[in-house]
Amino acid sequence: MTTMFGIDMLAVVGGIVAITVFGIVAGLVFLGIDRKVTAHMQARIGPPIRQPFRDFLKLLCKDSSVPENAIPWIFNGAPLLALASSIVILLYLPIGSFLPVFGSYGDLILVMYLLTIPALAMVGGGFASGSPYATVGSQREMVTMISYEFPLAIAIIAIAWRLSVAGIADPFSIGTIAANPVWGVAGPLGIIGFLILLVVLTWVTPAELSRVPCDTPEAETELAGGLLVEYSGRNLALFSLASGVKTVAMASLAVALFLPWNVSSFVALSPVVAYGADFAFYLVKLFAVIFFSVSIIRVGMARFRITHVVSVYWGYLAGLGLIGLLFIVLDTALGAGVIA
């Protein structure tokens, strides 16, 4: 019994280390790809894909300055909390055909809570810096969080409710959702509803990541960097790293909810080859999600005013999500009527 417990603990620790390394490396790589792709879409050459690694290493070599009016332990602890919480999110999500490391200990509700922690860490760090620019940026970040949480909740609840109606146990489990794609349990109207919810999630992603057009908390041209204006050196490096890891986590969540298929589900492969093929396909899906939900929107949109963020997410996207939910409910009711 003791030996088995030790093996299980060793596997968990190994999984945590592997996911941490993957999240950090993949986060920086996809930030570089996003910058490169965006540059080409704007007819620029752009920086090399390895540029985020260079920036991160350069910042690590510099000292972190702490403002005189700051609360040091919050100011210095916020970047660590943002990075750690972003990595923890990945521990609850499947990576290709690899099961989540903490899959037995949490579900979508927990992931929704964890997604707010990096943003709350930035808010705390901004308030703790004592800068008026950072204070305004932190207030904007809080308003943005309140705005996008409702459309995200609609999408998640709709998926779990449809799986529950289909008789699938534990519908909020990410493993359950990945094993039972929603497209397979929905009829024509339901598929339309889920496509609408996919569009909603696509627009929630830049708000979750504070990317254009929802980068109002930083807004360099208005707030000189907003809630990060006083950060430098290692602290700023950790925040940039947390942004990359959270990008991978948010894209992985979208893949788990709407694109959970693996190559090995359709083609007979040996176990080792199957894991490799599924992981490569997972990376392709990550790129597709980041491209459509971050890169294209960033190129095609200007920054929203903070009032526009509220109206877009609480008005248009929340309404669109409710319409998608209505299609799913109608599809379920009509399907039940046909069966009866």
Token pair for 10: 């060793």
Q: What is the pLDDT of residue 2?
A: 52
Q: Give the count of beta carbons closer than 10 Å to the beta carbon of residue 108.
A: 22
Average pLDDT over residues 181-198: 90
Token pair for 130: 């004592």
Kindly indicate the confidence band of residue 338, based on its pLDDT and cuts at 50, 70 and 90: very low
User: What average pLDDT is seen over the chain?
Assistant: 86
Q: What is the pLDDT of residue 224?
A: 64
Question: Which of 30-39, 82-91, 159-168, 327-336 is the least confident region?
Answer: 327-336
Q: What is the pLDDT of residue 262?
A: 85
Average pLDDT over residues 8-12: 73
Token pair for 192: 């339309």
Burial class (CB in 10 A: 0-12, 13-18, 19+), 336: exposed
Cα separation values, 303 from 77, 135, 144, 213, Å: 29, 19, 13, 4
Location of structure tokens 């299980």: 8
> Does position 283 have pLDDT exceeding 90, yes or no?
yes
Kindly indicate the confidence band of residue 132, based on its pLDDT and cuts at 50, 70 and 90: confident
Q: What is the pLDDT of residue 83?
A: 93
Kindly indicate the confidence band of residue 337, based on its pLDDT and cuts at 50, 70 and 90: very low
Question: Which of 5-14, 62-71, 187-196 is the least confident region?
Answer: 5-14
Range from 6-15, 24-33, 331-340 that averages highest in pLDDT: 24-33
Q: What is the pLDDT of residue 258?
A: 92
Kindly indicate the confidence band of residue 8, based on its pLDDT and cuts at 50, 70 and 90: low
**pLDDT tens digits for range 198-230:** 999 999 999 888 888 888 777 766 666 667 888
Token pair for 69: 């009016």
Helix/strand/coil for 95: strand
> Does position 103 have pLDDT exceeding 80, yes or no?
no
pLDDT top residue among 221 and 311: 311
Contact 279, 286 (CB under 8 A): no
Helix/strand/coil for 98: strand
Q: What is the pLDDT of residue 340?
A: 40
Question: Which of 7-11, 15-19, 43-47, 328-332 is the least confident region?
Answer: 7-11
Question: Rounded to an integer, what distance in angstroms lies between the CA atom of residue 264 and that of residue 267?
Answer: 5
Token pair for 112: 């929704």
Question: Rounded to an integer, what distance in angstroms lies between the CA atom of residue 241 and that of residue 25?
Answer: 9
Contact 259, 194 (CB under 8 A): no
Average pLDDT over residues 8-21: 82
Average pLDDT over residues 281-303: 90
Question: Rounded to an integer, what distance in angstroms lies between the CA atom of residue 81 and that of residue 120?
Answer: 9
CA-CA-CA-CA dihedral for 129, 131, 132, 135, to nearest 10: -20
Helix/strand/coil for 85: helix
Residues in contact with 258: Cβ distance below 8 Å, sequence separation at least 6, in sequence order: 182, 194, 198, 201
pTM: 0.90
> Does position 3 have pLDDT exceeding 60, yes or no?
no
Kindly indicate the confidence band of residue 287, based on its pLDDT and cuts at 50, 70 and 90: very high
